[in-house]
Amino acid sequence: MFLDNDSYDKAKWLVLIFLPALAVLIKGVGEVLYWEAVDVWITLINLGTAFLGTILQISSQHYYGGGDGNGQRPRYS
């Protein structure tokens, strides 16, 4: 699966900036308001973030590695 640059940049922002910040926000608010099972939600967000980060890294390696083993970037027509 190939992402265009704009989609990749948005997904990278989501995984590197938004989801970790969301996890911190939910943890903080949840502790202040005594939400039940807040740790479960934080764990789920962090697991999803780790999964998406891995997928993005694989996508990045395919892009810069060419995806076909020749070391060149794929060409888009």
Q: Render pLDDT for 6-45 as a digit per residue (tens, 0 to 9).
A: 888 999 999 999 999 999 999 999 999 999 999 999 999 9
pTM above 0.75, yes or no: no
On the question of pLDDT at 76 being above 90, the answer is no
Q: How far apart are CA 47 and CA 3, in angstroms?
A: 22
Extents of the domains making up the chain: 5-65
Give the per-residue pLDDT at 72: 55
User: What's the Cα-to-Cα distance from 53 to each of 14, 30, 71, rounded to whole Å?
Assistant: 10, 25, 22
Give the per-residue pLDDT at 35: 96
